[in-house]
């Protein structure tokens, strides 16, 4: 803020200094002495109209496509680029001399990136007299307001802020407008004088939500006579809650001081010398109006302007007949107001009998009276209001209790692994390849548009099968950093990453969504591979499950969602497919898994979710492809095109992956085969890709949509068929694997405890006496307790037993309540 103030003060000081140097003398409507009068051309005085007529159109609408239909200069500039044309009508119904005047301003302007604007314009003026008085003369000898005005050129620019959005933050702007006579545009300038005129303004704008406040100081100066005036005004505008760009506004302008020479005209026949004071009138103006600002089309406005000066009091009507903008939409500048979400948590104020019950209760429903049983006339029984199922807006579901909120079912809650790195780990023990970040669901590794299911096993190409993915020019980089040998050099030494077991690691519990659970914000992958891929892409595509919408500004191919989606995703993911292909070619089988730090957590969760109901898990994952098709149908046409553009690459990528990864799947540790879904999807989307290529060639969205619709139907059938086959095959395999795993587990010793805390009590015999009701439970020897152990337990009211620490006789932790038995002495 200090910078704002100081900058604003400096600007005002500079303006005041310029004004002081320009003005012949200070004061209110002062006139210089005859000795300081400027040198005027011959017959200049004869062209000067009366003060009333000179002041006819002293106020004109401000320059700029987004300015209000009012005189005060404004700092608002459209963006990013537009051509703006406008036609207005000013009506001055009745001047004190009985004349009525019309002014038709017209202008063209070009705003540039919301920070500068240039424009040209002029106007046509008309004036006619009332029936009582004669019309103003319109001859070449005595010029009148009737006719074309001078041409004007204008420019303005935002001086401050430099980096922030000037539309949403306080802004300072400067404007310059020059009126000059050229060609047919030989009329009188804004001061009503024949000659060029300059208009300089400094404007400060302060947005406050839907309210905008601004102030401006403007100097008008006639170049020949040096007559001029200073206008200082304030503006307040409000964007009404209906309509998109409808504003109401008010302005107050003070015009003072004014200055100008007093001309001594030729003596009249009676010997009197006529004097003409060229200084504009001193006065004030109030303007009130409503306006639809130009928004890629037509804009209209109406303003009522009251002016009171030392020569007249008048009312002007300003109409914006037509304001037409050609260029990008200005909606980003003034985004439309969001639709209000109906509040369904309405508090009902009960009336009648309901109001007699205390909060949380309601009158009991009337019961059927037993015949013969007296029924008190005023008896009313209140019963607790049963809990109502929570109502949520469409698309949301109730959050788990005790929360009363509604959440998005697919987005909440995020996986605790969200944003954590994931890796491709070759089974030969060679260094792992960083392949992106785990997505919000915790089930996929998102790698710039390439979504690899966690647990997917990638195999090398089969002989005889076409490997259409040649190694990329840049060799894949391993997360081992510069010290890691290149993959092309053959199997690399291990970097401490153990060869994964065919089974998942022991399910050591780790926090899954423990309370409180804070989702880790996603961060960009920092691997060299990722960085090299990202640097070559101009725009990062949005993920499919993270709200995939076409953004015209961020698209790499503006105006073509289809091409943008294709290009954005393809550029980055193509690199990654090539990198994976190269790694599996050199090192053989590998799995896509979370990083070493997260593998245990993931494996535990994975097993917990899928091992016990393998078939359900497989079917659910397999149906994801069909769900995506369903979601696809719900998208807008542009989003469909963008998504399909991305799918187009996915199909190509999946096809390439299946070429290098025969039967590419997702069998990690023999648990589940999720990658079958990707293969099924690839089969279906391959059909879409063919249609897209055809659509891109046509570059016609209508044709593209028709082709895509046909492709979608074909793809859906193909995907369903592939899914069925995949599910059946995977389920069969999974059952066999699970059976083998179960057999192995039955022979497996108990799992090791990751953080073992030894018993706190030394080996000892159980007490001979315990409190009444308590018990000592002695257990036989185990591997950990070769002589057995015992526990002291206290009965609970709920029927359970609570372990007690015998050293304190209070509840304790497991190490405190498991007491080893000492070795038995030989008898």
Partner 1 sequence: MHGFPSDLDPAVFCGRELQLVSFTSNTVHLSFDGDASITAESTVLYQVDDTSALVQQVPPVAASALMALVGRRVCAATSNPDGSLRLQLEGGGIITCLDDSKDYESYHVRVGGQEFHV
Cα separation, 821 vs 827, whole angstroms: 17
Q: What's the rounded Cα separation, in Å, for the pair 62 and 225?
A: 24
Those residues whose C-beta lies under 8 Å from the C-beta of residue 132, and which sit 6 or more positions away, are 98
Query: What minimum distance in Å lies between the beta carbon of 494 and partner 1?
Result: 29
Q: What is the distance between the terminal CA atoms of the chain, rounded to a whole angstrom?
A: 91
Q: By C-beta, is 606 or 668 nearer to partner 1? A: 606
Q: How far is the CB of 810 from partner 1 (least distance, A)?
A: 9
Comparison of 507 and 763: residue with beta carbon closer to partner 1: 507
Contact 822, 764 (CB under 8 A): yes
Cα distance between residue 174 and residue 357, in whole Å = 68
- Cβ closest to partner 1, residue 605 vs residue 650: 605
**Is the bond preceding 257 in cis, omega lying within 30 degrees of 0?**
yes
What's the min distance (Å) between Cβ of 512 and partner 1? Answer: 5
Q: Compute the CA torsion angle 178, 181, 184, 189 (nearest 10 deg).
A: 70
CB of 115 to partner 1, least distance (A): 47
Nearest-approach distance from CB 505 to partner 1, in angstroms: 12
Instruction: Tokens 């070429």: give the residue.
Output: 659
The nearest distance, CB 400 to partner 1, in angstroms, is 4
- Give the nearest distance from C-beta 802 to partner 1 in angstroms: 5
As measured in angstroms, the least distance from the Cβ of 437 to partner 1 is 20
Tell the smallest beta-carbon distance from residue 776 to partner 1 (Å): 14
State which residue, 418 or 424, has the beta carbon closest to partner 1: 418
CA distances to 436, 509, 570, 599, 672 from 607, in Å = 23, 11, 33, 12, 9
Nearer to partner 1, 413 or 471 (CB): 413
CB of 74 to partner 1, least distance (A): 51
Nearer to partner 1, 374 or 799 (CB): 799
Q: What is the C-alpha to C-alpha distance for residues 304 and 289, in angstroms, rounded to an integer? A: 6
Q: Which is nearer to partner 1, 134 or 745 (CB)?
A: 745
Q: Are 96 and 281 in contact (CB under 8 A)?
A: no
Q: Nearest distance from residue 817's CB to partner 1, in Å?
A: 7
- What span, in angstroms and rounded, lies between the C-alpha atoms of 670 and 667? 5
Between 484 and 609, name the residue whose CB sits nearer to partner 1: 609
684/686 Cα distance (integer angstroms): 5
Place of tokens 């710039």: 448
* Residues composing the chain: 827
- Asked if 191 contacts 183 with a C-beta cutoff of 8 angstroms, the reply is no
CB of 484 to partner 1, least distance (A): 36
Distance CA 202, CA 159 (A): 10
Q: Give me the phi and psi of 663, to 5 degrees please.
A: 65, 30
Q: Would you give the DSSP letter of residue 368?
A: P
Query: Which lies closer to partner 1 via its Cβ, residue 511 or residue 547?
Result: 511
Determine contact, residues 727/735, Cβ cutoff 8 Å.
Answer: no
List, in sequence order, every residue forming a beta bridge with 236; answer none if it has no partner.
213, 250
Task: Indicate the residue among 206 and 794 with the shorter CB distance to partner 1.
Answer: 794
Pick 412 or 696: Cβ nearer partner 1:
412
Contacts of 356 (CB under 8 A, 6+ apart): 363, 380, 382
Shortest CB 211 distance to partner 1, Å: 42
For 316, how many CA atoms within 13 A lie in the half-sphere containing its CB? 28
Catalogue the long-range contacts made by 384-390 (C-beta closer than 8 Å, 24 or more residues apart): 384/360, 385/360, 385/361
Q: Which is nearer to partner 1, 329 or 748 (CB)?
A: 748
- Minimum CB distance to partner 1, residue 656 (Å): 35
Structure tokens at 319: 């109409």
Q: Using CB under 8 A as the criterion, which residues of the chain lie in contact with partner 1 when the complex forms?
A: 397, 399-402, 407, 409, 412-413, 506-515, 517, 605, 608-609, 611-612, 742, 745-746, 748-753, 756, 779, 782-784, 791, 796, 798-803, 811-815, 817-818
C-beta of 257 vs 442, nearer to partner 1: 442
Q: CB-wise, 440 or 686, nearer to partner 1?
A: 440
How many other CB atoms sit within 10 Å of the CB of residue 276? 19
| 3-class secondary structure, 23 | coil
d(CA 475, CA 578): 9
Task: Work out the number of other CB atoms within 10 angstroms of the CB of residue 812.
Answer: 19
Beta carbon nearer to partner 1, 50 or 745: 745
Pairing of strands 116-129, 99-112: antiparallel
Spatial separation of the C-alpha atoms in residues 43 and 227, rounded to whole Å: 17
The residue assigned the tokens 């069998």 is 667
CB of 556 closer than 8 Å to CB of 567: yes
**Closer to partner 1 by Cβ: residue 363 or 505:** 505
Q: Is the alpha carbon torsion for 434, 436, 437, 441 positive or negative?
A: negative
- Record the tokens describing residue 182, joined without a space: 């050229």
From the CB of 806, what's the least distance to partner 1, in Å?
Answer: 14
String of DSSP letters for 208-267: ETTEEEEEEEEEEEETTT--EEEEEEEEEEEE-SSSSSEEEEEEEEEEEEEE--EEEEEE
CB of 742 to partner 1, least distance (A): 6
């Amino acid at each position: 803020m200090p910078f704002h103030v100081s900058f604003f003060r400096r600007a005002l000081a500079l303006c005041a200094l310029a004004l002081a140097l320009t003005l012949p003398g200070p004061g209110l409507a002062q006139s210089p002495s005859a000795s300081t009068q400027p040198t005027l051309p011959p017959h200049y005085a004869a062209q000067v109209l009366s003060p009333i007529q000179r002041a006819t159109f002293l106020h004109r609408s401000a320059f700029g496509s987004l300015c209000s239909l009012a005189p005060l200069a404004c700092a608002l500039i459209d963006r990013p680029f537009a051509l703006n044309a406008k036609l207005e009508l000013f009506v001055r119904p009745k001047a004190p001399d009985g004349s009525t005047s019309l002014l038709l301003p017209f202008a063209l302007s070009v705003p540039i990136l919301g920070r500068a604007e240039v424009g040209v314009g002029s106007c046509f003026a008309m004036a006619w007299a009332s029936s009582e008085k004669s019309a103003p003369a319109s001859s070449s000898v005595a010029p009148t307001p009737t006719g074309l005005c001078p041409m004007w050129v204008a420019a303005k620019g935002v001086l401050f802020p430099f980096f922030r959005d000037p539309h949403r933050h306080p802004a300072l702007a400067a404007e310059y407008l020059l009126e000059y006579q050229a060609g047919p545009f030989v009329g009188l300038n804004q001061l009503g004088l024949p000659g060029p005129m300059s208009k300089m303004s400094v404007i400060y704008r302060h947005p406050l939500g839907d309210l905008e406040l601004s102030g401006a100081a403007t100097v008008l100066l006639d170049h020949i006579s040096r007559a001029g005036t200073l206008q200082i005004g304030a503006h307040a505008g409000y964007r009404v809650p209906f309509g998109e760009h409808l504003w109401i506004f008010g302005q107050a302008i003070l015009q003072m001081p004014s200055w100008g020479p007093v001309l001594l005209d030729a003596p009249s026949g009676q010997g009197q010398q006529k004097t003409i004071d060229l200084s504009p009138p001193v006065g004030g103006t109030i303007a009130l109006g409503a306006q639809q600002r130009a928004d890629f089309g037509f804009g209209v406005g109406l303003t009522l302007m009251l002016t009171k000066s030392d020569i007249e009091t008048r009312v002007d009507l300003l109409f914006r007949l037509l304001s037409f903008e050609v260029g990008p939409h200005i909606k980003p500048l003034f985004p439309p107001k969001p639709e209000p979400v109906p509040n369904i948590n309405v508090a009902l104020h009960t009336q009648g009998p309901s109001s007699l019950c205390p909060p949380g209760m309601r009158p009991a429903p009337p019961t059927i009276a037993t015949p013969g049983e007296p029924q008190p006339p005023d008896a009313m029984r209140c019963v607790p209001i049963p809990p109502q199922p929570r109502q949520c807006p469409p698309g949301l579901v109730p959050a788990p209790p005790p929360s009363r909120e509604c959440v998005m079912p697919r987005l909440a809650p995020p996986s605790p692994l969200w944003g954590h790195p994931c890796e491709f780990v070759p089974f030969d023990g060679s260094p792992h390849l960083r392949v992106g970040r785990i997505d919000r669901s915790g089930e996929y590794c998102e790698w710039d548009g390439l979504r690899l299911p966690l647990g997917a096993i990638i195999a090398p190409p089969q002989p005889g099968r076409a490997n259409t993915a040649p190694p990329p020019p840049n060799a894949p980089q391993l997360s081992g950093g510069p010290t890691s040998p290149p993959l092309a050099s053959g199997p690399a030494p291990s970097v401490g990453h153990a060869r994964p077991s065919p089974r998942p690691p022991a399910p050591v519990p780790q926090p899954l969504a423990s309370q409180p659970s804070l989702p880790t914000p996603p961060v960009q992958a920092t691997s060299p591979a990722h960085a090299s891929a990202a640097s070559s892409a101009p725009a990062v595509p949005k993920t499919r499950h993270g709200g995939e919408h076409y953004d015209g500004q961020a698209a790499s191919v503006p105006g073509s969602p289809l091409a943008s989606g294709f290009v954005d995703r393809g550029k980055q993911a193509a690199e990654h497919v090539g990198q994976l292909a190269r790694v599996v070619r050199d090192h053989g089988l590998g799995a896509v898994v979370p990083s070493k730090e997260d593998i245990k957590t993931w494996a535990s969760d994975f097993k917990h979710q899928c091992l016990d109901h393998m078939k359900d898990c497989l079917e659910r994952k397999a149906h994801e492809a069909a769900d995506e098709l369903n979601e696809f149908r719900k998208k807008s046409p542009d989003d469909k095109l963008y998504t399909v553009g991305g799918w187009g690459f996915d199909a190509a990528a999946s096809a390439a992956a299946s070429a290098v990864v025969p039967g590419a799947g997702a069998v990690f540790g023999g648990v589940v085969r999720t990658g079958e879904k990707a293969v099924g999807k690839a089969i279906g989307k391959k059909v879409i890709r063919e249609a897209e290529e055809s659509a891109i060639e046509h570059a016609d969205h209508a044709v593209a949509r028709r082709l895509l619709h046909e492709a979608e139907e074909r793809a859906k059938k193909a995907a369903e068929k592939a899914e069925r086959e995949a599910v059946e095959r995977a389920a069969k395999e999974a059952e066999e694997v699970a059976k083998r795993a179960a057999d192995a587990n039955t022979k497996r010793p108990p799992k090791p405890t990751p953080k073992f805390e030894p018993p706190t009590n030394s080996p000892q015999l159980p007490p001979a006496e315990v409190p009444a009701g308590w018990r000592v439970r002695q257990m036989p020897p185990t591997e950990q307790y070769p002589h057995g152990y015992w526990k002291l337990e206290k009965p609970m009211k709920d029927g359970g037993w609570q372990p007690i620490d015998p050293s304190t006789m209070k509840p304790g932790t497991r190490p405190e309540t498991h007491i080893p038995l000492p070795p038995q002495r030989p008898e």
